[in-house]
Structure formats: structure tokens, C-alpha cells
């Protein structure tokens, strides 16, 4: 029996599934996590907790849904309409309720009785932070630093295990006067590289390559690159392809501050920045770097990561 040659991404995915590191769901880019995959992702998350403890960030965890109003306020739909996921719910009458199960069982289109709810799926872990911080009134003079972690959703089905539709981001978000936020953003380039190097991942800094939608999106992407507002630390998860972003470091300037009305102690529009580690991509990079068998990993990496 002849078999089509697999791409590097597909071959890696097959090996991850064969070792039960990832569990396929039947939809591209949506997986269950096996025990060892999860152990590695959570161990890296715990490492970030230890590394950032001296920064004394405010801890908060939000659920993976966001009020629709907050997404509408953020401008996300102007840049990434194709990646957003919206929550719909049943809004039909009794007749519609009667026909729905039959349509569903026959895999017919049953969306006619559905309508938008006031929720969307969370596109990035830091989005709930801005309206929350804005609602507290003016910032303290040194601003705020917030620590979040959440599953995020992006609608981009792919056979590449490094491009999931549902994945976790561990983020810190800095909100305050422009110069403080800019300095914090700058400091995380070296810090991020050091953290990754400490677990054997030699990453490099690259300008972000966000998948903005359409022609105006391409202009946005060009200006983002010019101003070096969004940087990525990339690692070759697929040795034969482009390196993959495993951490992003973003300086939003006054974008979220003006969208959500966040004011500094002096009454200026606050600037914001965030860094985010992609936990699934980092786990994949670690399995790529050190092998699929956790028992075989170098002792110094195991003890650094797993304690």
C-alpha cells in the first residue's frame, strides 16, 4: 500500500499521537493532552511562577470566554475577524426546538435557530485585564503588573501541532506611564531568552509575523514591524520549516489604554505591554529538543523543569 509522503509537521504530529502526548479530537488543531505532555506544560508554567515571583505581579485567572462587548471595544475584529470565535445559543421557538435534534442528527445546518450571545471565546489571555483595570479608576503612580493564564481560541484549523485552535498562554501585563511600560517591555527580551535557554531552548528574536486580515491588515503588519512593537522569540519546532514563536513580547503603546479608558495617576492615557509564553508550543519545543521520552531528558533540564 503506498502512502502519501508526510510533511515534517504531519510526521511530528503522528509521533506525538503514537506516544499519547497528544490525543486527536477529529477536528484539526484540537487535542487532548496526555499525561507527559501536560506534566511538561505545567512544569514550565510553574517555572515562570518561580522566575517572576520577585516581580510581585497581581494574580488573577479569567475563564476562556470574554464578554462580547470587550472584544468589540478592543479592535480585535478589525485586525483578525477570521480568527475570532463567537458563542451562539439557541433562540428558537418550540417548533425550532422540535426540528433541531433531527437536523443535528443528520448533520444538517442547524444554525437557523441560533443567535449571538453576549460572549465570545478568548483570543489572548490578556484581553480581560484591560476592562478590569479600567474599571478600578486611575492607576497607582507606578502602574500595575498583572499575571494571567488561560486557554485561548483562534479559528485556524491546521495539521501542524504547533498551530492549535485551543491553547494556553501564560502572560504578564504591564500597565502604566509610557516610559515605565517601554522599559518593562525592553527588559523582557533578554529575560525571555534567558528563561528559555535555562531549559535548553536556544531561541532567537524576530519581528512578529501576525496574520492580519486583508489589505489594510498587511499595512498594519508592516507598521507593527517597522516600530518593533511586537517581538517574538522563535524556535525551530519543525527543523525543515520556519521557526515557530514560543513567546511574544508586545508593546501596545496607548492602544488598549485609549480603547478601554485606562488613565495613569497623572490623568494621561496609560500605555500597556504584555509578554506571553505559549505553553503548548513550549512543550512541543522541549519534546523536539530533548526527545519524546521524558525519562531520557538530560538531568539538568529535568531538575530545572520538574524539580
Where on the chain is the footprint of Zn ion (CB under 5 A)?
124, 126, 171, 274
Alpha-carbon span 301 to 307, nearest angstrom: 9
The nearest distance, CB 305 to Zn ion, in angstroms, is 24
Minimum CB distance to Zn ion smaller for 76 or for 297 = 76
Closest separation between CB of residue 302 and Zn ion, Å?
30
Minimum CB distance to Zn ion, residue 264 (Å) = 19
Shortest gap between Cβ of 126 and Zn ion (angstroms)?
Answer: 3
- Closest distance of CB 252 from Zn ion, Å: 8
Shorter beta-carbon distance to Zn ion: residue 9 or 232: 232
Record the cell numbers describing residue 6, joined without a space. 508526510
Query: Is the CB of 281 or the CB of 290 nearer to Zn ion?
Result: 281
Residue with cell 520577585: 54
Whole-angstrom distance, CA of residue 302 vs CA of residue 78: 43
- Cα gap 287→156, rounded to integer Å: 23
Are 88 and 117 spatial neighbours (Cβ–Cβ below 8 Å)?
Answer: yes
Q: Let me know if 27 is exposed, middle or buried by CB neighbors in 10 A (0-12, 13-18, 19+).
A: exposed
Radius of gyration of the chain measured on its C-alpha atoms: 21
Q: Is 272 exposed, middle or buried (0-12, 13-18, 19+ CB in 10 A)?
A: buried
Closer to Zn ion by Cβ: residue 110 or 257: 257
CB 134 within 8 A of CB 173: no
User: In angstroms, what is the minimal distance from the CB of 54 to Zn ion?
Assistant: 21
Matching residue, cell 511530528: 12
Closer by beta carbon to Zn ion, 120 or else 124: 124
Give the integer Cα–Cα distance in Å for 85 and 68: 10
CA–CA separation, 217 vs 115, rounded Å? 28
CB nearer to Zn ion: pick between 146 and 195: 146
Is residue 175 within 8 A of residue 143, CB to CB? The reply is yes
Shortest distance, CB of residue 26 to Zn ion, whole angstroms?
A: 30
Amino acid at each position: 500500500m503506498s502512502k502519501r509522503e508526510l510533511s515534517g509537521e504531519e510526521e511530528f504530529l503522528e509521533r506525538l499521537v503514537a506516544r499519547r502526548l497528544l490525543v486527536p479530537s477529529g477536528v484539526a488543531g484540537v487535542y487532548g493532552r496526555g499525561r507527559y505532555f501536560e506534566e511538561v506544560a505545567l512544569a514550565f508554567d510553574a517555572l515562570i511562577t518561580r522566575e517572576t515571583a520577585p516581580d510581585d505581579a497581581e494574580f488573577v485567572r479569567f475563564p476562556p470566554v470574554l464578554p462580547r462587548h470587550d472584544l468589540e471595544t478592543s479592535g480585535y475584529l478589525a485586525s483578525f475577524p477570521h480568527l475570532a470565535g463567537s458563542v451562539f445559543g439557541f433562540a428558537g421557538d418550540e417548533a425550532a426546538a422540535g426540528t433541531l435534534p433531527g437536523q443535528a442528527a443528520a448533520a444538517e445546518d442547524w444554525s437557523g435557530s441560533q443567535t449571538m450571545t453576549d460572549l465570545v471565546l478568548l483570543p489572548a489571555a490578556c484581553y480581560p485585564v484591560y476592562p478590569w483595570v479600567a474599571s478600578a479608576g486611575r492607576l497607582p503612580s507606578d502602574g500595575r503588573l498583572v499575571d494571567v493564564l488561560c486557554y485561548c481560541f483562534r479559528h485556524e484549523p491546521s495539521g501542524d501541532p504547533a498551530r492549535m485552535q485551543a491553547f494556553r498562554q501564560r502572560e504578564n501585563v504591564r500597565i502604566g506611564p509610557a516610559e515605565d511600560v517601554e522599559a518593562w517591555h525592553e527588559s523582557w527580551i533578554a529575560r525571555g531568552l534567558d528563561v528559555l535557554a535555562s531549559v535548553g531552548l536556544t531561541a532567537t528574536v524576530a519581528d512578529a509575523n501576525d496574520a492580519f486580515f486583508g489589505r489594510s491588515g498587511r499595512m498594519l503588519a508592516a507598521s507593527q514591524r517597522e516600530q518593533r512593537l511586537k517581538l517574538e522569540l522563535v524556535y525551530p519546532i519543525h527543523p525543515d520549516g520556519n521557526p515557530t514563536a514560543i513567546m511574544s513580547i508586545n508593546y501596545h503603546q496607548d492602544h488598549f489604554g485609549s480603547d478601554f479608558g485606562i488613565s495613569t495617576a497623572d490623568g494621561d492615557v496609560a500605555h500597556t505591554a504584555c509578554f506571553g509564553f505559549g505553553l503548548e508550543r513550549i512543550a512541543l519545543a522541549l519534546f523536539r529538543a530533548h526527545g519524546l521520552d521524558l525519562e531520557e531528558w538530560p538531568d539538568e533540564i529535568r531538575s530545572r523543569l520538574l524539580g
